[in-house]
Amino acid sequence: MKKCNSLQEVRAEIDIIDSNLVELISQRSYLIRQAAAFKESVDEVKAQDRVDDIMQRVRTKAIELNINPNMISELFKIMIDEMVETEISEFRNGGNF
């Protein structure tokens, strides 16, 4: 972790991280759309077991990093719910993103 020497520097670092987060979420979304081509049903798209595994993994990682696991769970719930809807749309369109 970087030690900043001013509020401006802190904000600049936060802006970089925010940009990186958006890029990573975009990459995740791209992969989610690809996954639709490998699924055979909407239930398989929803993949509740996979969602449960992801949620447990990110909560564990949050605890390891000493950040609020409930906040991380909420963020991932929103992201996963939205991406599942995107994947369902891709699946219904034949997985041709």
Residue 37, in any domain of the structure: yes
Percentage with pLDDT > 70 across the chain: 97
Residue 71, in any domain of the structure: yes
Residue 39, in any domain of the structure: yes
Confidence at residue 95, expressed as pLDDT on a 0 to 100 scale = 60
Residue 60, in any domain of the structure: yes
Percentage with pLDDT > 90 across the chain: 72
pTM for this model (two decimals): 0.84
Q: At 20, which CATH number? A: 1.20.59.10
Q: Work out the mean pLDDT of the chain and round it to a whole number.
A: 93
Residue 2, in any domain of the structure: no
Residue 49, in any domain of the structure: yes
Residue 8 has pLDDT above 70, yes or no: yes
Burial of 47 (0-12, 13-18, 19+ CB in 10 A): middle
Taking residue 84's Cβ as centre, other Cβ atoms within 10 Å add up to 17
Domains contained in the chain, number: 1
